[in-house]
Structure formats: structure tokens, C-alpha cells
Amino acid sequence: MAMTETRSGAAEVKAGGVHARGTYIRETWRFLRANPVILGGLGVILFFTLVALVAPHVLADPARLNPIQRLRPPSLDHLFGTDQVGRSTFSRTLNGTAISLTVGALVTFVTVVFGLLIGLSAGFVRKLDGVVMRIMDGIMAIPGILLAIALMSLFGSSVKNVVIAISIAEIPRMARIVRSSVLVIREQTYVEAAVTNGTRLPRMLLLHVLPNAAAPVIVQATYVFASAMIVESILSFLGAGTPPTIPSWGNMLAEARPFLQRAPWMVAFPGVSLALLVLTVNVLGDALRDAIDPRLARKLRS
């Protein structure tokens, strides 16, 4: 009898978990259907992600030289034409998608993690607030592009160093946003009640503060993602980003500069791809902001 009741209870718990997951999926789908811009933006990003995953396995080697086919315009044989040494612009453009998405995703992850740690610490620990935020202000006083260029000149050219340099420039902005949210949240009644009940600081931050500070962090993360892709392309264009052997969009634009009038397709395809992806991420961020905080959206429109 006891074993039967135990099995019945386990089945109920399992069914409850499945029901909760089903409800969450339905609520997410309802949210996306109510916000078609967000759904469309996620669709475009998913398309670029699939391209980045599939391109290296199905397309020709982007580094393969074919001098006989140099500077050929777009055709059935070469959909995006060829560059100054006969490499396929189509293959290089699609392979370059992976570099931009990888840098954008890694910078966003690092920025969110360290921004949350710094912002939560500064917002809740008053002794750290003054010192930490003055350091953040000092970093923010330097334009992000110039700071990234200076750091790359110290670190050297590699994808890992590009991620580190851009993250250092982006973390202070995320930290300030998190700190601002924490300063408001810590004055709320439920936080004061948690403090009165003796809730430990890590548990309180995880259960009460972090969920309520998530909305602005999510929105800012989309802007960090877009900014990281732009800065990576600028650094590569200037010769201070990814190594020239890697087919990133910034490297492609730099190599195409002397051939702008003779072979405009060398600039057009990587440039349009970068612009479309960055625009999509920015529009997605605006749509998320409007959906998460309608009052702010109405204020910005007025």
C-alpha cells in the first residue's frame, strides 16, 4: 500500500513538472505571437546561425586560391563573384558569419556575467559601490573603439583577444544598468522582509534581486551583441582584429577596399550581411524593450 502511494506521488510530481513545462512553452509562444517583430528577429538570427553551422561543411574552402578566376563578377559558377586572388566571395561571406556570431555571443556572455557580478556587488554592498563604480566610470570615459584598439595592440591579433578587448569596453555599461536596477529593488518591501527573516545575501540576490533585474539586462545584452559584431568588424578592417587569414567580414572589407570600383561585389555582400545582422539584433532589442517595459516605450515615443 505504501509503495503504491509512493509511486502515485512520484507520478503526480512528474505530471506536474510536465504540465509546468507545457505551460511555459505555451506562454512563450503566446508572447512571440503577440510580438511579431521579436519572432521575425529571432527567425533571422536563427537563419544566420544555421548558415554559420552549415557553411564550413558544404561550401568550398574559403582560403582556396584560383588566380585564373580572379575578380570574376557574380555568376552561376560564383554566386557572389571572386576576390583579387580568385577566392569565392560566397564561401568567404557565409563562413564569415560564424566569426561575427561567435564574437558577438562570447562578448555578450562575458559582459552579462561580469556585469551582473559587479553590478550586484556595487548595488548591495555599499562599501564597494564608490570604489567599483569610479573604476567603471574611468573605463567608460574612454571611447569603446579606442579602448579596444589600444587593448588589441597590447594583446595581439586573435579571436580570443578580440573578445577580451570588446568585453572590457562593454562590461562597465552593463554593470551600471544592473546597479541602477539593484538600487531600486533593494528598497522594495519583499527584499526588506527577506533581510528581516535572515535570508543570506547570495540566496537573496539569486531569488529576489536577479529575477527582477533580468528585463533590462536582457535588453542591454542584445545591444552588446550588435555592438560587439560592429567593433569586431572595425578592428579587423583596421588590421587590429582577427588574423588576416580568417575570413571575417571586417577582413573582407579591408581586402576589398582597393577594388571598390573594379569589383564592388567584394564590398557589397559582406557589408550587406553585416548591416542586416546588426540591424536585426538592434530591432530585436527595441522590440524586447517595448514588450518588457511598455511604459518606457510610450515615454520614448512621446
The letter for the amino acid at 206 is L
User: How confident is the model at residue 62, as a pLDDT?
Assistant: 86
Q: Are 60 and 79 in contact (CB under 8 A)?
A: no
| CA 221 – CA 244 distance, rounded (Å) | 28
CATH class of 30-57+78-301: mainly alpha
Q: Which residue has the higher pLDDT, 69 or 12?
A: 69
Segment 207-224 shows an average pLDDT of 87
* Three-state SS at 88: strand
- CB proximity list for 271: less than 8 A, separation 6 or greater: 249, 253
Sorted by where each begins, the domain ranges of the chain are: 30-57+78-301
Instruction: Enter the C-alpha cell of residue 72.
Output: 570574376
Segment 66-86 shows an average pLDDT of 90
Q: How confident is the model at residue 4 (pLDDT cuts 50, 70, 90)?
A: low
Q: Are 274 and 48 in contact (CB under 8 A)?
A: no
Q: Kindly report the average pLDDT of the chain as a whole number.
A: 85
Q: What are residue 88's DSSP bridge partners?
A: 82
For the ranges 41-55, 180-194, 246-260, 285-299, the lowest mean pLDDT is seen at 285-299
Segment 211-230 shows an average pLDDT of 91
Q: How confident is the model over 161-212, as pLDDT tens digits?
A: 999 999 999 999 999 999 998 888 888 887 778 777 777 777 877 877 888 8
Question: How many degrees, rounded to 5, is the angle at CA 95 between CA 91 and CA 98?
Answer: 165
Instruction: Enter the C-alpha cell of residue 102.
Output: 561567435
Instruction: Enter the C-alpha cell of residue 231.
Output: 567593433
- Answer yes or no: is pLDDT of 58 > 60: yes
| CA 38 – CA 123 distance, rounded (Å) | 31
| CA 286 – CA 243 distance, rounded (Å) | 33
| CA 58 – CA 70 distance, rounded (Å) | 22
- Answer yes or no: is pLDDT of 6 > 60: no
The letter for the amino acid at 199 is T
Q: How confident is the model over 93-136, as pLDDT tens digits?
A: 999 999 999 999 999 999 999 999 999 888 888 888 889 999 99
Percent of the chain clearing pLDDT 70 (strictly above):
87
For the ranges 64-68, 139-143, 171-175, 289-293, the lowest mean pLDDT is seen at 289-293
